[in-house]
Amino acid sequence: MIPYVKQVKDELLPQLSIRSLDPYEPVEVVFVPKPWRVVGAGNYAAVLLHPAEPDRVVKIYAEGRPGLPDEIQVYRKLGCHPAYSECYYADDTFLVLKRLTGVTLYECLRRGIRIPERVITDIDKALDYARKQGLNPHDVHGKNVMMIDGRGAVLDVSDFLKDEHCAMWDDFKRMYNLFYKPLLLRVTVPIPNPLLNMLRKGYRIIRKRGSS
């Protein structure tokens, strides 16, 4: 672990450029030094991979974005669970995490990959487990959960210390049961990315109006 962390501090961080223009949109990775590559980007942080270390990733928060201390605490509470990543190392600006290799449910919809009911059930059980550890699953949506070898996993736990109720996962399940399961589960028709983005932004607007 020590050589890997040294690589992050000496080779990656001095050259990496990340910016966050909108807290409701993914961060923008402006420059990544080779051979590192971006494998994901959330609203506060980017996740990067070194090809020599395929089983771990670095999650680096954009300057001025909150959440890293909370995320460390969440991983401590979660411990070891098959539906979650693990935190191997934490610093002031980044985390070293176990890599979860799969396809997000958002990508499944976009690419027409079948999402079996077992995946939904696995994620439900994982969220129940988190609640038993004193956490509050929050911001659980299609881009933050994934399918790994036909099983469900939770990709992002950074907001699990927030107090307010979050209905995103309940809404996703509602849409799955009402529309996906009867109409798309067997035919697996890809949903165009512009349509998915329109639905995502429309959902955010409706949620904001409903909470005001």
Specify the pTM. 0.85
Distance CA 189, CA 126 (A): 28
Where do the H-state alpha helices sit in the chain?
A: 2-7, 68-78, 105-111, 117-132, 168-175, 193-211
Distance of CA 182 to the CA centre of its chain: 27
Q: How confident is the model at residue 179, as a pLDDT?
A: 83
Q: What does residue 129 show for φ and ψ, rounded to 5 degrees?
A: -60, -45
Q: Which two tokens stand for residue 180?
A: 């996906």
Q: How confident is the model at residue 13, as a pLDDT?
A: 95
Residue that has been written with the tokens 């995946």 in this structure:
119
- Mean pLDDT of successive 10-residue segments in the chain (212 residues)? 90 94 87 95 92 96 89 96 96 94 93 94 98 96 95 96 92 88 78 70 57 55
The closest of 195, 110, 105 to 143, measured between CA atoms, is: 105
**Cα 160 to Cα 5, 68, 107, 135, distances in angstroms:** 26, 12, 23, 6
Q: Would you say 39 and 49 are in contact if contact means Cβ atoms under 8 Å apart? A: yes
Helix, strand, coil % over all residues of the chain, rounded to 5? 40, 20, 40
Q: How confident is the model at residue 199, as a pLDDT?
A: 62
Q: How confident is the model at residue 183, as a pLDDT?
A: 80
